[in-house]
Amino acid sequence: MEDIMTPKQIVTELDRYIIGQHDAKVAVAIALRNRYRRSKLTPELREEITPKNIIMKGPTGVGKTEIARRLAKIVHAPFVKVEATKFTEVGYVGRDVESMIRDLVDDAIRLVRDEKYKEVMPKATDIAEKKLLEILLPIRKKGDTGNKSDAELREELLSDIRNGHLDGIQIEVDVPQQPKSISVGGPGNQPGNTIDLGSIFGNMMPKQTKRRKLSVKQALDMLKDQEAGKLVDEDSITSDALKRAEEDGVIFLDEIDKVAGKSGRDHGPDVSREGVQRDLLPIVEGSTVQTKYGSIRTDFILFIAAGAFHISKMEDLVPELQGRFPIHVDLQPLTEDDFVRILKEPDNAVIKQYQELLKVDGVTLSFNDEAIREIAKASYLANAETENIGARRLHAVMENLLKDILFESDDGTTKNVEITKEYVDAHLASTLQNTNLRKYII
């Protein structure tokens, strides 16, 4: 593992996108840094140290998933988000718990392949441009009236290709035909764990091509991908990806509270909830899972579980599973001040998103501080009076507030629109009134 940021730097990076929830950020930052610390130890000691898995408790929309997702992006780690409710106990119809490990390996393969392709892309681009030159040269020769040499025409063509002057021109190119996918069940005969016979037998047969019309830009992109694929070693991608998934993988297990429940309280189909926990246990504790790319150990994967726990409690999880999540973090409900900050401060702030969207239609959108406070207040009250959906409430409020502007902004005129407190009051009055009335309806 390459050098990563310190815990303080990680928290600072998370602060760019997530408002508040400092305790949760600190917990994940320490877990991430501990991985780097472990990588610097001797192999013998490294085997003894496993990740300290985290369980987050908090209402929906307060940043649980976003913290885990941003954490994985910081170190370019394989990451999957799964819902515990998608899994069923062995013997029931549904996904088995090992499928999340296979999903993690698929994500690791994609990450490593992208990295390998980027490494060889300069060389692949050079080869692709030369091949494209050979296709375009006869066409350029026919239209040349100045009797230029082949070398001059090649140099002229190469410059035009690199500057995008020929992007829209249509040419005929031989495109490789992909073998048809024929999948059969692999180890365990589970979805996602299959063997593709089409690709196996396709590699034994001569490559088939089909002549197609493509633009120069499309042809260049296709040729670059083809050449990059020839330059990278698929075996090294697989081995590196399996190692990356084992050592750096992050699995976010959402809705863990939905499979919690004390025995004797379950009835009907929900009786499998404790069974799901028992199936999760060996995966979280550490086991070997078979995938179509090879076997992978789960001992050093970081598991971050999350749930609202408004009906069940953490103590309702089976004791063995509780023991595998030693770090408990409580996330706080969002306040009105938090909504103000969410609207303004993050790099992907909601207000910034709408400003950029409307800028496409020539509308310059601005909000004064009083308007932002009123939007935050409306969102907070809507959460308090109805279902608390956290920061997701802002999207509903903003769509309702800006509906007229979004609908009428494509008339071709450039305009400046300032959102004031009066504008917010006028456009959200009916929404707030309906929200307040709901508490009186039985």
CATH assignment of the domain containing 21:
3.40.50.300
Q: Give the integer Cα–Cα distance in Å for 435 and 442.
A: 14
Kindly report, residue by residue over 4-23, the tens digit of the pLDDT. 788 999 999 999 999 889 99
Q: Of the given ranges (82-91, 343-352, 399-408), which has the lowest mean pLDDT?
A: 82-91
Does residue 305 lie in a domain region? Answer: yes
The first and second tokens of residue 344, run together, are 């303004």
Q: Are residues 99 and 127 in the same domain?
A: no
Q: What is the dihedral of CA 393, 399, 402, 406, to 10 degrees?
A: 160
Kindly report, residue by residue over 191-236, the tens digit of the pLDDT. 455 555 555 555 565 667 777 888 888 888 888 988 998 899 989 9
Q: Are residues 261 and 314 in the same domain?
A: yes
Does residue 173 lie in a domain region? Answer: yes
Q: Are residues 356 and 380 in the same domain?
A: yes
Enter the pTM of the model.
0.77
Q: Are residues 81 and 161 in the same domain?
A: no
Of the candidates 298, 314, 306, which has an alpha carbon nearest to the alpha carbon of residue 331? 306
Is pLDDT larger for residue 205 or for residue 78? Answer: 78
Does residue 196 lie in a domain region? Answer: yes
Final residue belonging to a domain, choices 315, 330, 345: 330
Final residue belonging to a domain, choices 330, 346, 374: 330
- pLDDT of 8: 92
- pLDDT of 295: 93
> What letter represents residue 376's amino acid?
A
- With a CB cutoff of 8 Å and minimum separation 6, the contacts of 4 are 10, 32, 33, 35, 36, 74, 75
Mean pLDDT of 389-416: 84
Question: Is 318 a residue whose pLDDT tops 90?
Answer: no
Does residue 111 lie in a domain region? Answer: no
- pLDDT of 441: 39
- pLDDT of 267: 47
Mean pLDDT of 93-120: 88
Question: Is 389 a residue whose pLDDT tops 90?
Answer: no
The first and second tokens of residue 349, run together, are 């702030």
Does residue 99 lie in a domain region? Answer: yes
Final residue belonging to a domain, choices 330, 364, 394: 330
Does residue 1 lie in a domain region? Answer: no
Q: Are residues 74 and 124 in the same domain?
A: no
Share of the chain above pLDDT 90, in %: 25
- pLDDT of 119: 92
- pLDDT of 207: 67
Q: In the chain, helix, strand, coil percent, each to 5?
A: 55, 15, 30
Q: Are residues 207 and 310 in the same domain?
A: no
Number of domains into which the chain is organized: 3
Considering all CA atoms of the chain, what is the largest pairwise distance in Å, rounded to the nearest integer? 91
Computed over every residue of the chain, the mean pLDDT equals 82
- pLDDT of 26: 93
Q: Are residues 121 and 219 in the same domain?
A: yes
Q: Give the integer Cα–Cα distance in Å for 337 and 340.
A: 5
Kindly report, residue by residue over 261-309, the tens digit of the pLDDT. 654 444 444 546 778 888 888 899 889 999 999 999 999 999 999 888 8
Q: Are residues 229 and 139 in the same domain?
A: yes
Residue ranges making up the domain that contains 275 = 7-106+245-330
Does residue 2 lie in a domain region? Answer: no
- pLDDT band at 438; cut points 50, 70, 90: very low
Q: Are residues 42 and 92 in the same domain?
A: yes
Q: What is the dihedral of CA 130, 176, 106, 241, to 10 degrees?
A: -40
Q: Are residues 250 and 266 in the same domain?
A: yes
Q: Are residues 94 and 186 in the same domain?
A: no
